[in-house]
Chains A and B, each alone.
Chain A
């Protein structure tokens, strides 16, 4: 039964007006500009771009402002906006080998060509609150050294020379796109990676951590982690050739994992891969671990029944917009549903009581 209920409009309008006021907060405190959010909350902006699956720092900053800093709400706004954009096409696959690296480290090779470049990292900080930031302080200027303008080779290229790590067969297969066709299982690695790249950082982190704690253990080394900008090229039909449309900042993680070999393949290392919009190191490492765990079947490993090996479980629960939509809808009016449940429970209780009274009467008669 559907019952139209009216009467909430005024309350809703007033709630939204109050929301706007609360969003602004104390008006004696200066209002945040989008540029301030973009420049000074850049890792929040990066997360909203990655999980909103739309690279546009200004839009992400707007979404963060509008959502009062609730990043999942901000991601929701970006996803909704994204659906209004006409799709101009698909880019050529970006070449992370030409990345202008702000950061590039390897946990496996100390003397990697191109070096260990720390970049603007939180690593090696003491995680002590810095009260200087509470006062208006001057920013120290970053040190410089003669720049290295050559491209930085991938670490896995060196291992590939010995064939001691699996090769990633190059192909130009058109990958599935979960924004165009609904996901079906088995999804395949391309759709898995798309889904993980936009999946909730906390969920992917939890799944990755579960593999480290022994649920489908695949002992990962961070072969390489790099952060920097890469150009994005697309073939322009009107022109008949590809041009660069711009550049995006990416975080790429390649893991090197153990593999004992099989009947046909001698022992060699295997790989997990993480690629995320923006500077998003935790997410890209986690993505690489989960990618590797999900590859168990292709690599002839046992299904240990671990959650991180279950493609359907991981992909169906990693999207925080789907999850939040379903979770939060239960707070919306369910008056009619609840009314029918209420009547059912009352009826069952009435029947139970009648039965008990019946039994009591029969026992008394006997």
Chain B
């Protein structure tokens, strides 16, 4: 059964899935152990997205270069549609991401959030913090040499 989904909530989980480490996502998905029946609307295909930047960081846009992205779309037997757009060229990763996207719109959402999304979020946050902690240790602490005597 489908539930009402808000765009910001869906954006948040799709973004999380797109950035997830494939091995991590795959492990959590298998542990969740609930593969739904589905049919492809669009089987996984790899492609490119042109990444844009802005002049001076804030001005007019320009095309910087492309990144690889894999996308797919599927439909569950109840008609729920799941989409995935994930960085890289992994078809299995896109497939899992689309299944998670679809199931998050059903009553499986609560369990799936606990079993897959929350652990992914924690791993991602921990990874970011670990890098930020190393960066923080390389911050320069200036001190002024006092010369002469008052």
Contacts and interface: CB of A to CB of B under 8 A. Distances in A.
Interface of A: 49-50, 53-56, 58-59, 82, 85-94, 96-97, 100-103, 110-111, 115-120, 142-149, 154, 156, 168-179, 189-191, 193-194, 197-198, 231-234, 236, 238-248, 250, 252, 254, 271, 273, 275, 277
B146 interface: no
Contacts of A179: 50, 63, 66
Given A91-B50, A119-B138, A143-B134, A173 B60 contact: yes
A303 B66 CA distance: 34
A8 B85 CA distance: 46
Contact of B71 (A88, A93, A176): A88
Interface string B50-61: 111111111111
A97 B49 contact: no
A160 to B, nearest CB: 9
Contact of B61 (A85, A156, A175, A241): A175
A277 to B, nearest CB: 6
B10 A239 contact: yes
Interface in B43-92: 45-69, 71, 73, 83, 85-89
Nearest to A102: B135
Interface in B107-150: 128-140, 142
B48 A85 contact: yes
B48 A54 contact: yes
Given A100-B131, A147-B133, 7 more contacts: A96-B57, A120-B138, A149-B128, A173-B60, A193-B55, A232-B87, A245-B87
A190 B134 contact: no
Contact of B11 (A49, A85, A145, A241): A241
A244 B18 contact: yes
A54 B71 CA distance: 17
B113 to A, nearest CB: 17
Interface residues of A, dominant DSSP: mixed
B145 to A, nearest CB: 14
B1 interface: no
Interface string B12-33: 0011001100000000000000
Contact of B135 (A101, A176, A236): A101
B139 to A, nearest CB: 5
B138 A118 contact: yes
Given A115-B140, A194-B64, A171 B88 contact: no
B97 to A, nearest CB: 11
Contact of A189 (B10, B18, B55, B139): B55
Contacts of A111: 142
Contact of B53 (A173, A174, A275): A275
Q: Which 9 A-B pairs have the closest CB atoms?
A: A246-B87, A168-B59, A147-B132, A244-B15, A168-B56, A144-B133, A145-B136, A55-B67, A190-B62
Contacts of B47: 85-88
7 contacts: A145-B133, A156-B57, A173-B61, A190-B61, A273-B56, A275-B53, A275-B64
A147 B135 contact: yes
